[in-house]
Amino acid sequence: WVTGLAQCSAAMRALASFLALRCAAPPRRVLLRALTSDGENVHAAWTKEDDWKLWQHRDDADVAELLGRKAGGVAARLKKLEDPASTAAKRLFGEVEAEETIDMEDYLALDDDALLRQCRIDYRRDSGPGGQKRNKVESAVRLTHTTSGVVANAMEDRSQHVNKRRALRRLRTNIAHNVRRPVDLDEPFDNDDACAGLLPWTSAQRIGAKSALRPRAEQALLDVLEACNGSIGDAATYLGGSTGQLSKVLTKDTRLKDAANAIRRNFDLGPLRSRK
């Protein structure tokens, strides 16, 4: 049996991919829905028609190049699903051992109030803007996420409330850049994954720099890079793009580039450099 909401979602994604690739014609969408014993609605969708085309041509190199994908990728993922010994197949059929399921809280899934409850809030005076209030009112805010140790500051405004809101936004970004979560590379990547909106080669809805979804998307992208031992090439292959495309995404934003380089340093790899 499949136990746990995360395990159920992963199993359904794998099953959706498996069924879609076995269709005689390219399905526009495969959508599975299930109701857990707790009454929660779980769904998984498959929308990658390009994968179906590649599978029908058995990942022909010319077809893969035409679609901007790596030849052999879809067949390799499907082979994992058909291999009863693979992690993907075990998850699909509910045979994953309990110790394989890593329970890590998703801090970025919390709303602002819930995330603040996990923080220590310090107010202090600072030398920032303030006019007559300068050094008289403790308007600067420092948030420390007690579970992860991640810190964020804001001091630009005279209003303590405004600075608190800014610090919370920065905290989400800092958590995304510093807190890593496990990624099962046996699970195929698809447009429903959190970081798909950052990748220009996917059909997912774009996630802009100011979007509330941005921190979660950046965290998911960095999690993949960590799982691939900092290798841009391996991460790009898993995500269905090219090394150059992924490198451009990671270096477009200075803070995201710094976070990616921190991961690469852990694996003794050189830094990424922004393209001029």
- Domain range list for the chain: 5-100, 107-178, 194-266
- pLDDT attached to residue 193: 83
- pLDDT attached to residue 244: 94
- Top CATH class of 107-178 equals alpha beta
- pLDDT attached to residue 107: 94
The one-digit pLDDT tens for each residue of the chain (276 residues) are 444 545 555 555 556 655 655 565 555 555 555 555 555 554 444 445 555 555 555 555 655 555 555 555 555 655 665 666 666 566 555 554 433 433 457 899 999 999 999 999 998 876 655 555 454 567 899 999 999 999 999 998 888 899 999 999 999 999 999 999 999 998 888 877 889 999 999 988 999 999 999 999 999 999 999 999 999 999 999 999 999 999 999 999 999 999 999 999 999 999 998 865
Task: Give DSSP secondary structure letters for the chain.
Answer: ---SHHHHHHHHHHHHHHHHHT-SS--S-EEEEEE-TTS-EEEEEE--HHHHHHHHTTS-HHHHHHTT--TTHHHHHHHHHH-TTSHHHHHHTT---GGG------GGGS-HHHHHHTEEEEEE--SSS-GGGTTTS--EEEEEETTT--EEEE-SSS-HHHHHHHHHHHHHHHHHHH------TTSPP-TTSGGGGG-TTS-SPP--TT-TTHHHHHHHHHHHHHHTTT-HHHHHHHHTS-HHHHHHHHHHSHHHHHHHHHHHHHTT-PPP----
CB neighbours of 146 closer than 8 A, spacing ≥ 6? Answer: 118, 119, 120
